Structure 1
Amino acid sequence: MTTVAAPTEDRAKSAAGLRAAVAILEKWGASGEQAAAILRVSRSTYARARRHDPEWRVSLDEDQLTRISLVLNIHASLRVLFDNPENLYGFMAMANHNVPFHGRSPLQVMAEGGMLALYDVFRHIDSLRGGQW
């Protein structure tokens, strides 16, 4: 028998995921505009997520949930790559001359591009860890 989560549960889980992604993006140094673009949420939804209200609920579509997942997975890959907080949280805001960045920071690439840019950044960073799992 398959159990389907109640819509309230889904909205609570979505809010928790969004709050986590927003907290990570802030630690990476993303501006509010960048974070909202990366997650494809409105400025008001971004502002509500920053408040960390445990009672807040939000409905997100599949694209937004995928974006949250990619941010969380990028963060997980960075945690494998870097032990020190300066690199763990600073890498995403640093200019990078490797493909796919071409002198821009990973945050810039993600904020200026669509889902494909976000996925490309994830793939690049995830590939850096190589066999470190």
Structure 2
Amino acid sequence: MLRTRRTEERDESGLQRLDPDRFAPASRKRLSAPALRTFLAIADLWGLNEEQRLLVLGYPSRSTYHNWAKQAREHGAFTLDVDTLTRISAVLGIHQALGILFPDERAGLAWLRTPHDALVFGGHPPLSVVTSGTQDGLMTVRRFLDAARGGIYMHPNTLDERFAPYEDGDIVFR
């Protein structure tokens, strides 16, 4: 099925409205298994234990979590709720940002596990905020990393530390 891009919908105040089809059960069902498989791979990479995985996912029951994982591994069909998919999306964004900001996985994981002095982390490792059980904790780390990707704040990485500013003679006009 070919989907065309919808025109932007706005409410009477001019604010953009979300596409209601985005949250439709059919869309969520289509995304649920691949999203959970990807989450499980990232959780393995990050070394999350079962309790931490449950907290990140919004604390479903253990039997529900194991059923989802089994269905996802077997490419079965199930439908996650909007909250759980939003949480998984935040994890994917955090993982992607770490891959952009750090030269290798080990450095990104070290950042996640090291206490941080940014006010939003309060001296705790970002991973403890991710695994706090709240969607807000996930989004806080995601937004922090997105800001860092945009150059707003973060200590320079090794590539940045070695960067030498351009000189006038380095600029070539053609």
Q: TM class by shorter-chain length?
A: 0.7 to 0.9
Q: Which amino acid aligns with 1:17?
A: A
Q: Does 1:25 align with 2:11?
A: no
Residue 129 of structure 2: SS of its match in structure 1?
helix
Between Structure 1 and Structure 2, the one with more helix by share is: 1
> How many aligned positions are there?
131
Map 1:32-51; keep pairs closer than 5 Å.
32-40=50-58, 41-48=60-67
Contact kept, 8 Å, 2:37 with 2:73, in 1: the verdict is: no
Deviations 1:55-108 (A, max 9, x none): 333221111111111110111111110121211233222222222111222221
Match of 2:96?
A: 76
TM-score (structure 2 length as normaliser): 0.63
Alignment RMSD: 2.9
Contact kept, 8 Å, 1:78 with 1:88, in 2: the verdict is: yes
Map 1:1-133; keep pairs closer than 5 Å.
10-40=28-58, 41-48=60-67, 53-131=73-151
Deviation at 1:113, TM superposition (A): 4.5
Where does structure 2 lack aligned partners over 5 or more consecutive residues?
A: 4-20, 152-174
Contact kept, 8 Å, 1:28 with 1:91, in 2: the verdict is: no
Contact kept, 8 Å, 2:113 with 2:127, in 1: the verdict is: yes
TM-score (structure 1 length as normaliser): 0.79
Highest CA radius of gyration, 1 or 2? 2
Match of 2:164?
A: none
Higher relative contact order (Cα pairs below 8 Å, separated by 6+ residues): 1
Q: Aligned partners of 2:69 and 2:115: how far apart in 1?
A: 26
